[in-house]
């Protein structure tokens, strides 16, 4: 059964009346008109899919992507934002987590041009470039892949300008060659696959935790011990604005998370403020894991407004022009892995603002 909206229904009725009144009306043309109207509406019919109990906790955008062929996650997100995809006929956000047993309505698949444009204006600090992969020392403020908020000034846009051959590498054409990510304001090392074989190998190694990532971070507070392991599950906060340790109320399922740390330096600026330089090795790869775990043990990253403590507001470094209180100090310093029986070790220098703050702290 085809259901027409009010506007189309009235339009069709008017044409039928015109046909009846005008005996000279071209029957053939009118028949073509009817065919086009009904064909168009048929393509716009809704699909309704029931989310089962086992789908509880899944993001709606990822859930729909898994059901539809030849539709990217970017398209799905745009459709959700335009209310073409709804849950129980209600508008939802792309980050909505299914509760199970809901009805998901999917309208006409939008024909959206998802082609990613290369951007040669983004400067890349290339540490290594060979036939299998490229190692980037990512700058602060550079998003990894395009999103509905930013589609032109990302690492992927820059990579496509420098290495167009990676455009077909990977499982998602919006993230060609990308096997892991860094937060937008996290600096440091990132490996990008240049062919499908390497993409598969690196992805498997990350999943099997055979790639060691070492970070350096500046955090608040003095540590009781020089090293340790933080073992605390991480889940989504009820507000969806940040991750949180999985105690109390949270959304979805909590995931195990372990982070190893080692204190490299300690700087006492005053009786109230101490800053420590720590080496951090995440054993799992949860969103914001280092930031969440360090805040959890009472040592939030300097400048991390999302997971801050009251002491952060007392840090006043007006005399240091490189200091930026609006961003956190986390740097992916080292990357170790084995690929094709060859061992690789890469190290990245600190960004200028990180080095400047460390040099300043050395005075204390």
Q: For the chain, where do the domains classified as CATH 3.30.2350.10 start and end?
A: 115-208, 209-364
Catalytic residue among 114, 125, 132, 183: 183
Q: What is the pLDDT at residue 32? A: 40
CATH number for the region 115-208 comes to 3.30.2350.10
pTM above 0.75, yes or no: no
Predicted pLDDT of residue 237: 73
Determine the 3-state secondary structure of 331 from DSSP.
strand
From CA 95, how far away is CA 77, in angstroms rounded?
Answer: 9
Domain at 209-364: CATH code: 3.30.2350.10
* 308 closest CA partner among 298, 322, 318, 320: 298
User: What does DSSP assign to residue 162?
Assistant: H
What count of other Cβ atoms lies within 10 Å of the Cβ of residue 266? 16
| Superfamily of chain region 48-106 | RNA-binding S4 domain (3.10.290.10)
Output the CA–CA distances (angstroms, integers) from residue 140 to 137, 144, 183, 328, in the order listed.
Answer: 10, 11, 9, 10
The tens-digit pLDDT sequence of the chain (364 residues) is: 444 554 555 555 555 555 454 544 454 444 444 443 343 333 445 788 899 988 998 999 889 988 887 777 767 877 888 888 999 999 998 889 999 889 999 987 755 556 788 999 999 999 999 999 999 999 999 999 887 677 789 999 999 999 999 998 988 777 899 999 999 999 999 999 999 999 999 999 999 999 999 999 999 999 999 999 999 998 877 665 566 675 666 666 788 999 999 999 999 988 888 999 999 999 998 889 999 999 999 999 998 888 876 555 556 676 677 777 778 999 999 999 999 999 999 999 999 999 989 998 888 8
Question: What is the phi-psi region of residue 34: left when phi exceeds 0, alpha when psi lies from -120 to 50, beta otherwise?
Answer: alpha
DSSP 171-190: S-TTSTTB-S---TT-EEEE
Name the token pair of 351. Answer: 């960004």
| Distances 83 to 90, 94, 107, 151, 244 between C-alpha atoms, Å | 8, 10, 9, 21, 29
Q: In whole angstroms, give the CA distance from residue 53 to residue 62.
A: 16
| Nearest alpha-carbon partner for 260 in 244, 292, 283, 287 | 283
Does residue 183 carry a catalytic annotation? yes
One-character DSSP codes across 134-153: EEEEEPTT-BSS--SS-SSS
Residue 240 tokens, joined = 């969806």
């Amino acid at each position: 059964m085809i259901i027409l909206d009010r506007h189309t229904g009235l339009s069709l009725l008017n044409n039928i009346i015109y046909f009846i009144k005008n005996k000279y009306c071209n029957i053939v043309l009118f028949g073509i008109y009817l065919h086009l109207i009904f064909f168009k509406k048929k393509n716009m019919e809704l699909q309704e899919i029931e989310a089962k109990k086992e789908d509880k906790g899944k993001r709606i955008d990822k859930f729909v992507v898994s059901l539809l062929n030849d539709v990217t996650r970017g398209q799905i997100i745009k459709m959700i934002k335009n209310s073409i995809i709804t849950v129980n006929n209600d508008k939802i956000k792309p980050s909505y987590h299914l509760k199970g047993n809901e009805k998901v309505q999917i309208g006409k698949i939008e024909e959206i041009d998802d082609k990613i444009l290369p951007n040669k204006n983004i400067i890349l600090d290339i540490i290594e470039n060979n036939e299998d992969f490229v190692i980037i020392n990512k700058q602060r403020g550079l998003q990894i892949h395009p999103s509905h908020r930013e589609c032109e000034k990302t690492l992927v846009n820059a990579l496509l300008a420098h290495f167009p051959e990676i455009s077909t590498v990977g499982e998602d054409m919006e993230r060609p060659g990308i096997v892991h990510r860094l937060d937008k304001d996290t600096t440091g090392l990132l490996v990008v696959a240049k062919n499908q074989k390497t993409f598969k190998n690196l992805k498997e190694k990350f999943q099997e935790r055979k790639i060691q990532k070492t970070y350096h971070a500046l955090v608040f507070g003095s540590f009781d011990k020089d090293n340790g392991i933080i073992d605390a599950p991480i889940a989504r906060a009820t507000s969806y604005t940040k991750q949180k340790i999985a105690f109390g109320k949270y959304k979805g399922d909590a995931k195990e998370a372990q982070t190893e740390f080692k204190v490299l330096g300690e700087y006492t600026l005053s009786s109230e403020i101490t800053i420590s330089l720590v080496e951090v090795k995440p054993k799992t790869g949860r969103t914001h894991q280092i930031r969440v775990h360090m805040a959890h043990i009472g040592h939030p990253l300097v400048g991390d407004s999302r997971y801050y403590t009251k002491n952060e507001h007392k840090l006043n470094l007006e005399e240091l022009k490189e200091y930026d209180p609006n961003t956190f100090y986390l740097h992916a310093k080292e990357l170790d892995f084995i690929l094709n029986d060859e061992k690789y070790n890469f190290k990245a220098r600190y960004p200028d603002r990180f080095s400047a703050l460390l040099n300043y702290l050395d005075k204390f």
